[in-house]
Structure 1
Amino acid sequence: KLLYKYLKNPTFVIITDRNNLDEQLYGQFARVKDFLRQTPEQAESRENLKEILDGRLANGIFFTTMQKFSESHRPLSTRKDIIVITDEAHRSQYGLREVIKKDGSIQMGMARIIRNSLPNASYIGFTGTPISQEDRDTQEVFGNYIDIYDMTQAVEDGATKPIYYENRVMNLGLDEGLLEQIDDKYEELALQAAEEDIAKSKKELSRLESVLGSEAVIDTLCKDIVKHYENERAHLLTGKALIVAYNRNIGMKIYEKILELRSSWEEKVRVVMTGSNNDPEGWRDIIGGKDHRKELAYRFKDNDDPFKIAIVVDMWLTGFDAPSLATMYVYKPMRGHGLVQAIARVNRVFEDKEGGLVVDYIGIAKALRDAMNDYTVRDKRNFSNPDIREQIYPKFKEKLEVCRNEFLYGLDYSDIFRDDVEDRVRSDLITEGVNHIYRFNDEMQKSFKKESYILRQAHSLCSSITTVDEQRAASYIEAVRIGVSRIKESGRLSLKEINKQIEELLEHSIRSEGVINLFSDLDMEFSLFDEKFLNEIMGMKQKNLAVELMHKLLREEIQLRSRRDIVKSEEFSERLKRVMDSYRKNQIANARSLDQLLQEYHEAEGLGEVREDREEYTAGGKYPLGLNEIIGDLITMARDMVQADREGKDTGLTEEELSFYHALTFKDSIEEFYEDEELVEMAKELTRNLKEKETIDWQHKASGRARMRTVVRRLLSKYNYPPKEMKGALEIVLKQCEHWSERRVS
């Protein structure tokens, strides 16, 4: 409102430097034209831009590329209420001063041309990578910052993810002097403006390329990338990765070498770059044309597509978003805003993504630090040193110790570190781990899941620098976390799915060759009402796991029954709650009694910390008093569900009729007033009448509910139901009617 009061009816000109960005922004504004109360327009040519702005007195939102402005002695408009908004302001909007060329002519920069065209306009620039150089200074062109939304704030808001850095330059065995030489030459290129100086630097760089593109170096590079990808990144999120090559020639060499090492990766690895008439024979089929590149971009963003690794040189390093992309292998010197924009490809938000990882093979660490000079103080503090060895690995070790000492204390899982451990033993160890965590109360279980999840995220970024034992320990803890979490989650339980997830996890860490069966004591194909399965549950060694498994299965079954039989489902729900309340109390009592017992023992013997003897006590497999009885109660409940269904069949009632029978007999003393045959007949007639009288959505309308209540009351009054002593009985029947109708609609 303040802007409107001051500016009245301003004209907005939105300028970009690329056609695709112009189209994108125009489309976004056009979709909200009703909110803007005017229809945006897009300049189609220089002439059209002149027509739009020349002589306009008010209003208008116009989109154009900067190339449509041209030198002129006459401004397009001298109005003061024009606001020029420039996107990607760091890229091309420079040249406020004229430059005298060698031939004596004067070259005018684009910033000066635009300002001569609209001399009294206000200029606002948007950029994610501001530049401060002698001949290119974003603030000189657009003025001081109006507002700063820095990387720290973006990460805190959840708009982006942090980026981490892994140095693998030493794996190539390149001479450090060579890398410094390359870095120096690229810095010279960034600072030079004279064409002959640039040409000289590029000539020197071509000599360096012969080393970087040599067969031996490319072979070492690709072997290391393949090893790192397979062991650390392929199984992470969707496995998407970029390889940034030094140039097109080296990009093709990398592609060919990777396929030589992994011939089955033809669908997995693709080259994304433009072609040239001078390309060697055979390149065209690999590179393709514009439509092919569009298809590759679409496929790379598809998380389920087999295309996982893109080899690029310049393409996709700016303006390309694939949220699941989490890994970038860099074999190309980059500096300044170009480097920052490139690595930002891996900072997009995606489910379970802790951050993006930049793997350096060319020595960009110094360039990264230098690039941060143009950012805020807190960004420099938080992101100027993103090395995983200093930022992530210490966090990983901390959380690993927390999980080991706070949650797995007293559990012997040392066999997990053996190379020759059998798969059955490994499965049992994971199952024991899940059972061990279930001994804790809900609060401690949540704490374990939180700490182990943080461990998992840290491990996803620094796994390549962890020891073998650390990897195995972290993977074991993650397998336990999956087992605990999946059983606790709502939804239908799939033991096969749980085992599949754990098997995939261990495939990349503990190197299992066989099939992992977390629930090795159970048959995978089971029914809650199968006596064989119930006996297997009763015989499980892991009693806490048995309780949680039965709890989940019964809870899901009750939820299913609630849609058809409200009375029985509520009855079983109350029973389940009582049993589980007893179990939770036993957990708390057991923890207290254990601590008290150990404390008394230590005081009597004059020993040290209580915790030292906890392992001796817990290793014996002692369980809370009554745990077997609790499992027995849960199994009895499952059998009672079977019996309830069987009773319905014995009476000759359908499933629908049985649910009404249960509603009618909700009060235990109801049978004192009616013969069972009468109640059966009532249930049948009630079901039949409701089917005849029901209308769509009757239960959601007051008139519909009133009509159906009348139908039910009239029918039940024939049988003098309910007795005067049974207050609330009619409401139960009506509630069952509503549930019955909801189920028929669904």
Structure 2
Amino acid sequence: MHWNWVVNLTGFSTNATYVGFTGTPIDATIDVFGEVVDAYTMTESVADEITVRIVYEGRAAKVLLNNRKLQEIEEYYNRCAEEGSNEHQIEESKKVMAQMNAIIGDPKRLQDLAEDFVTHYENRIAEGATIKAKAMFVCSSRPIAYALYKNVLELRPEWGEIKVADDGVILTDKERKEIKPMERMKMVMTRGKDDPEDMYYLLGTKEDRKEMDRQFKNEKSNFKIAIVVDMWLTGFDVPFLDTMYIDKPIQRHNLIQTISRVNRKFGEKNKGLIVDYIGIKKQMNLALAHYNKKDSDVFEDIEQSIVVVKDQLDLLHKLFHKFDNSRYFNGTPLEQLNTLNKGAEFAQITQEIEKRFMYIVKRLKAAYDICSGSDAFTHAVRDEIHFFLAVRSIVFKLTKGVAPDTAQMNNKVRNMIQEAIESEGIEEIFKLGETGEKEVDIFSEDYLAKLDKIKLPNTKIKLLQKLLAKAIEDVQKINKIMGIDFTKRLQFIVDKYNERKESDVLNSIVLEDFTDEIIDLYFALKKEKDSFKDLGIDIEEKAFYDILKALAIKYDFVYPEDKLIILAQKVKEVVDDKAKYTDWSKRDDIKAELKVGLIILLADNGYPPVDRDEVYKEIFEQAENFKKYRA
């Protein structure tokens, strides 16, 4: 719990001070313990990045269009807020609650509720707006929960199919043992002896509920939607739970504990969403203000996210005002894909424009993740958002790796890739960094021919840079000194490219020069990578050869080439002999033996005529390097 209240308890002893801690202090606690001495608020928790902000989306009007009924619900809340519990008030409360259940449980309303929930939930899934697709739906009673459950299954019978995980989800052997096949949507509540037979068996035993607990907390489990009434609303933490649908009257501390289920920090999650089907916004604010006025504005209305999306779209329109993206919306798949390709090129004209574009779309995405389930955007606007997100995915892949918003390249984008996969080498960009792709030899002539098809210079430079950096990284795992050398050479070219001026944009020769420099480095790495074959030694012996030769150049002494090759082979023999144990690099005795062996070997071979410590240091590091990656 992230509300840590400290209260002072006095009156039990004249010489003692008693301190109590509570997560959500109810009035009865304060009456006994006294006034709050100090509090750690939700606002402070968000500021400290321990929890995330909660966004409110009101959808009561979507399923209850009768204003008179909405007023009755509001009046009910006001009555619940009154203090006292005499007989008259208890009887009145029962009477009102019966009226409330009649409103909330109206069959037509529950049908509308199910339809809106399914649409909202699936929109968020389709837009990649939810972390792990986990959602909790809070109902006001068990019979109403069961009625809603049946209505949802009528719309989506597949949510009742027992599966291990979503189609396409890759599971490890360990995960296959841990994940129990289960429906996508389940009711989580205890059985009642008067429950209908179907509902009774659906709810399962205490052990079944324990298993549901485990599966809902598993990121990859097929169990995604939990329909609850009272269970799991307190003390149940699922950090990747980011969406809660509420259709139950809840007050004060119970409401705070309930909505706190979605404010846990997890990965890229920066907000939790509360979807309100009953009109609890006023109660949320009152509940928070009751305990601490600082938290009275801790909630963010979804309208704020909608405004942010519109503002960022406006900025993107201005940034892309010279770019024609019309073929993305009405062209053939090939034309759509080419437009995305050109859009990524346009976004990379200069480093300044690229950074600005990526920052704006990042803000757009964060806001859209929250409000994508709302009805605030037309299909045309959503298509525009998808365009910019898809362009960002391409640029992100070119510069950093797998794009975090690839899921938001919706079916339209994915389908056009499938239909136009051979388009100008662009498929290599979409495949870059994806898991499951077979390893390719980027030094093969076929692969280079594919890259040569890419005619847009900035895109080609970024892709070459990415591929070359990966190739250098792989080389460095075997030959540390070679990897360091090529890393420096590549970084020099990249720095020059990033410092290009806007005036160079129209000068194609400048970009062609950068491309040529990277390709020259590409061929230099390819040649160096295979140079061990010309020397008649293996790739690991070549690594020690490079160290010995580099030190000879550094300290300006001559050592015959034929003797250098033989010495490199002997060095590897000594290293292999002394470093055959997996923990050798942590054992001082073995490292001491290795150093003695190298001292004797180098002395016997007259190498080097300089201080030997650097030689040993370099050889030790190289030995650790390829032993680590070869293991």
TM range (shorter): 0.7 to 0.9
Q: Which runs of 5+ in 1 are unaligned?
A: 1-20, 22-85, 91-110, 595-617
C-alpha separation between the residues in 1 aligned to 2:286 and 2:42?
16
Aligned length, in residue pairs = 588
Out of 447, 454, 471, the position equivalent to 2:363 is 454
**Following TM superposition, by how much is the alpha carbon of 1:221 offset from its aligned partner in structure 2, in angstroms?**
0.9
Q: 1:304 to 1:693 in 2, by over 3 A?
A: closer
C-alpha separation between the residues in 2 aligned to 1:426 and 1:566?
43
Say whether 1:506 aligns with 2:409. yes
Say whether 1:214 aligns with 2:106. yes
Out of 56, 60, 69, the position equivalent to 1:178 is 69
2:120 alignment counterpart: 228
**Following TM superposition, by how much is the alpha carbon of 1:693 offset from its aligned partner in structure 2, in angstroms?**
5.0
Looking at CA atoms only, which structure, 1 or 2, has the larger radius of gyration? Answer: 1
**Following TM superposition, by how much is the alpha carbon of 1:276 offset from its aligned partner in structure 2, in angstroms?**
1.1
C-alpha separation between the residues in 2 aligned to 1:239 and 1:173?
26
1:735 alignment counterpart: 618
SS in 1 for 2:40: coil
Aligned-pair Cα RMSD in Å? 3.6
Q: Which runs of 5+ in 2 are unaligned?
A: 161-182, 432-437
SS in 1 for 2:38: coil
Q: 1:399 corresponds to which letter in structure 2?
A: Q
Out of 570, 574, 577, the position equivalent to 1:685 is 570
**Following TM superposition, by how much is the alpha carbon of 1:88 offset from its aligned partner in structure 2, in angstroms?**
9.2
SS in 1 for 2:473: helix
CA displacement 1:652-677 (0-9 Å, x = unmatched): 21112222333343357999956644
1:410 alignment counterpart: 322
C-alpha separation between the residues in 1 aligned to 2:75 and 2:618?
80
Range that drifts further, 205-214 or 320-329? 205-214
SS in 2 for 1:148: strand
Task: Map 1:24-423 onto structure 2 (within 5 A).
Answer: 122-131=17-26, 136=27, 138-191=29-82, 192-233=84-125, 235=128, 236-266=130-160, 267-380=183-296, 382-383=297-298, 386-389=300-303, 391-406=304-319, 408-416=320-328, 418=329, 420-423=330-333
Q: 2:309 corresponds to which letter in structure 1?
A: F
Q: TM-score, normalised by structure 2?
A: 0.82
SS in 2 for 1:306: coil
Q: 1:472 corresponds to which letter in structure 2?
A: D
Say whether 1:521 aligns with 2:521. no
C-alpha separation between the residues in 1 aligned to 2:227 and 2:46?
28
Say whether 1:660 aligns with 2:574. no
2:240–2:266 contact (8 Å) kept in structure 1: yes
1:243–1:309 contact (8 Å) kept in structure 2: yes
- Higher relative contact order, structure no. (Cα contacts within 8 Å, ≥ 6 residues apart): 2
C-alpha separation between the residues in 2 aligned to 1:206 and 1:700?
72
SS in 2 for 1:147: strand
Say whether 1:562 aligns with 2:507. no
C-alpha separation between the residues in 1 aligned to 2:624 and 2:255?
62
Out of 520, 523, 545, the position equivalent to 1:639 is 523
1:540–1:546 contact (8 Å) kept in structure 2: yes
Q: 1:691 to 1:206 in 2, by over 3 A?
A: closer
C-alpha separation between the residues in 1 aligned to 2:528 and 2:221?
49
Out of 561, 571, 584, the position equivalent to 2:485 is 571
Q: 2:336 corresponds to which letter in structure 1?
A: R
CA displacement 1:665-721 (0-9 Å, x = unmatched): 335799995664433333333333443455767766787666545544543455544
SS in 1 for 2:409: helix
**Following TM superposition, by how much is the alpha carbon of 1:519 offset from its aligned partner in structure 2, in angstroms?**
8.1
Q: 1:721 to 1:365 in 2, by over 3 A?
A: closer
C-alpha separation between the residues in 2 aligned to 1:623 and 1:305?
53
C-alpha separation between the residues in 2 aligned to 1:707 and 1:207?
86
Q: 1:455 corresponds to which letter in structure 2?
A: L
CA displacement 1:134-192 (0-9 Å, x = unmatched): xx455333222210212211110112212111121221243111122133234334535
Q: How many percent of aligned residue pairs carry the same amino acid? A: 30
SS in 2 for 1:243: strand
Q: TM-score, normalised by structure 1?
A: 0.71
CA displacement 1:221-241 (0-9 Å, x = unmatched): 101100010012563101111
Q: 1:89 to 1:242 in 2, by over 3 A?
A: farther
**Following TM superposition, by how much is the alpha carbon of 1:297 offset from its aligned partner in structure 2, in angstroms?**
1.7
C-alpha separation between the residues in 1 aligned to 2:16 and 2:544?
77
C-alpha separation between the residues in 2 aligned to 1:374 and 1:681?
81
CA displacement 1:109-128 (0-9 Å, x = unmatched): xx9xx988x89864434344
CA displacement 1:405-424 (0-9 Å, x = unmatched): 34x453332334x2x54443
Q: 1:120 to 1:693 in 2, by over 3 A?
A: closer
**Following TM superposition, by how much is the alpha carbon of 1:328 offset from its aligned partner in structure 2, in angstroms?**
1.4
CA displacement 1:560-584 (0-9 Å, x = unmatched): 3223323432332332233223323
Q: 1:300 to 1:231 in 2, by over 3 A?
A: same
C-alpha separation between the residues in 2 aligned to 1:300 and 1:399?
35
1:438 alignment counterpart: 348
C-alpha separation between the residues in 2 aligned to 1:646 and 1:570?
17
Q: 1:430 to 1:461 in 2, by over 3 A?
A: same
**Following TM superposition, by how much is the alpha carbon of 1:367 offset from its aligned partner in structure 2, in angstroms?**
2.2
Q: 1:452 corresponds to which letter in structure 2?
A: V
C-alpha separation between the residues in 2 aligned to 1:695 and 1:502?
44
Range that drifts further, 273-282 or 448-457? 448-457
1:506–1:512 contact (8 Å) kept in structure 2: no
1:712–1:734 contact (8 Å) kept in structure 2: no
**Following TM superposition, by how much is the alpha carbon of 1:254 offset from its aligned partner in structure 2, in angstroms?**
0.5
C-alpha separation between the residues in 2 aligned to 1:205 and 1:333?
10
Range that drifts further, 530-539 or 294-303? 530-539
Q: 1:632 to 1:538 in 2, by over 3 A?
A: farther
C-alpha separation between the residues in 2 aligned to 1:377 and 1:711?
72
1:431–1:519 contact (8 Å) kept in structure 2: no
C-alpha separation between the residues in 1 aligned to 2:460 and 2:187?
52
Q: 2:462 corresponds to which letter in structure 1?
A: E
SS in 2 for 1:372: helix
**Following TM superposition, by how much is the alpha carbon of 1:649 offset from its aligned partner in structure 2, in angstroms?**
1.6
1:427 alignment counterpart: 337
SS in 2 for 1:126: strand
1:480 alignment counterpart: 391
2:389–2:409 contact (8 Å) kept in structure 1: no
Q: 1:345 corresponds to which letter in structure 2?
A: R
CA displacement 1:429-462 (0-9 Å, x = unmatched): 3333333333332x65445433322221111111
**Following TM superposition, by how much is the alpha carbon of 1:635 offset from its aligned partner in structure 2, in angstroms?**
2.0
C-alpha separation between the residues in 1 aligned to 2:557 and 2:235?
78
Q: 1:655 to 1:159 in 2, by over 3 A?
A: same
